[in-house]
Amino acid sequence: MAKQVSVFRREHFNAAHRLFNPEWDESTNEKVFGKCALPNYHGHNYELEVKVTGKPDKKTGYVMDLKELSDLIKREVHTRFDHKNLNLDTEEFKNLNPTAENIAIVIYKLLRPHIDKKMDFQIRLFETPRNFVEYPAG
Amino acid sequence: MVYLTRSEHFNAAHRLFNPGWSYEKNEEVFGKCANENWHGHNYELLVTVKGNPDPDTGFLFDVKKLSLIIRQHIIERMDHHNLNLDVDFMKDKMCSTENLAMGIWEQLAPHLPAGVQLHCVKLYETPRIYVEYFGR
């Protein structure tokens, strides 16, 4: 029985956003989200780590071809989010607050259908070098 | 002569866009950086001062004071802001990393005490792109 191995691919994208709940008034948004709610947006260099876990294929020795994973991330994530305003330019966050948590969940959902079901799959998203989230948790 | 560096960071939105050019020309020169709805970065700012250490303290400059000067004059004005719209000293300037570093220099230099000279403003736009400005 081959043992399980995790393989990772790291990509990055730069985007603007703001945190804002349209059901709240300005002062509640400011109270909850602080300067992240400022109306003219701010931005980040997002670092995305994608982790695929499974048994290496007997013929190739690969869990997954990392070039294919890279191309997949560029196609599904980069083209949607890189150099975009997440609130204004993307379908995904038209009605969803673009917190790091929600961005990670969205990216997971975009990529998961293209990853072999036998493999475990996890996203780690850095909003800054010191703030990052993982989905699914654990 | 000793060089002392303090690192700070801010997150901001910007776009590269020359209002004197057509939309197409901006797209051609600045590509996706010209996106009209902005994009953003985690900027890392390294400010280096130079001088001789004070014989009593051993300090060239109290680095806490340097940090406060950078925060008061730069970070508070830029962090979580839109660099094109919100930052007064970038008004009517192209919001490139080069111009930001030069603008930051001009804002900081007047606030340093005698004997402490600004040496370098180094600004990272991404972990792989940075500029240095030495005031000349």
**Residue range A19-25: mean pLDDT, rounded:** 95
B80 — contact with chain A (CB < 8 Å)?
A: yes
> Active site includes B132?
no
A10 touches chain B (CB under 8 A): no
Integer Cα distance of B33 and A132 in angstroms: 25
Q: Which residues pair with B129 in a beta bridge?
A: B126
**Does residue B33 have an active-site annotation?**
yes
| pLDDT interval class at A1 (50, 70, 90) | low
Q: A35: nearest CA in chain B?
A: B80
Q: How far is B53 from chain A (nearest CA, A)?
A: 33
| Residue B120 tokens, joined | 């370098």
Domains of chain B: 2-133 (3.30.479.10)
> pLDDT tens digits for A62-72?
999 999 999 99
Residue B82 phi, psi (nearest 5) = -100, 115
List, in sequence order, the alpha helices (H) in chain B.
Answer: 23-30, 63-70, 76-78, 83-86, 97-108
How many C-beta neighbours within 10 Å does residue A21 have? Answer: 12
Chain B neighbours among A 34-93 (CB < 8 Å)? 35-36, 38, 40-45, 82-85, 88-89
User: What amino acid occupies position A23?
Assistant: E
Query: Which active-site residues of A does the annotation give?
Result: 36, 83, 127
Q: Among candidates A48, A26, A50, which has minimal Cα distance to A38? A: A26
Amino acid type, B96 = S
Residue B118 has pLDDT above 90, yes or no: yes
What's the gap in Å between the CA of B91 and the closest CA on chain A?
Answer: 15
Chain B contact present for A129, CB below 8 A? yes
For A105, B18, B19, B39, B68, the CA distances from B7, given in Å and listed in that order, are 32, 30, 33, 23, 12
Output the pTM of the full model.
0.90
Q: How many of the other CB atoms lie within 10 Å of CB of B30? A: 18
Q: Residues near B73 by Cβ (< 8 Å), separated by ≥ 6?
A: B107, B108, B111
User: Does A83 sit within 8 Å of B11, measured CB to CB?
Assistant: no
Cβ contacts of B126 on chain A, cutoff 8 Å: 12, 14, 45
pLDDT, tens only, A27-72: 999 999 999 999 999 999 999 999 999 999 999 999 999 999 999 9
CB contact under 8 A, B126 and A14: yes
